[in-house]
Amino acid sequence: MAVILVPVNLMPLFFLDQPQGELIAALAITGMALNLPIMMAARGMSGTMALPHLLCWVPLVIVVAGMLSAADTLNPNYFRFLWLLMIVDVISLVFDVRDAAHWMRNRKAG
């Protein structure tokens, strides 16, 4: 996870000067940064870590999808990066939805 997810979600820092670059960086990095207190409180990984991803990366994916629809106006390297970011974060979100649902069911049962 950390080998792909963290580097890809830090890469927007290289594209701050591109269209929506600052917003994309803020959403990508905040989705990870909000997990630091959760990891510290849980002393490791927790299903709760899905919640910041859902909060930040769903809007991120929406913004990126909109950007990709304007492909002809984007720098080719930025365009390729946006595809990579979207693919990685959508895959993560699939697992995050499952983890968040599991966490919520356990919370209601407890």
pLDDT, tens digit only, all 110 positions of the chain: 679 999 999 999 999 999 999 999 999 999 999 988 888 887 877 777 888 899 999 999 999 999 999 888 999 999 999 999 999 999 999 998 998 888 778 776 65
Q: Residue 93: what pLDDT?
A: 95
- Secondary structure of the chain as H, E, C letters: CCCCHHHHHHHHHHHCCCCCHHHHHHHHHHHHHCHHHHHHHHCCCCHHHHHHHHHHHHHHHHHHHHHHCCHHHCCHHHHHHHHHHHHHHHHHHHHHHHHHHHHHHHHHHC
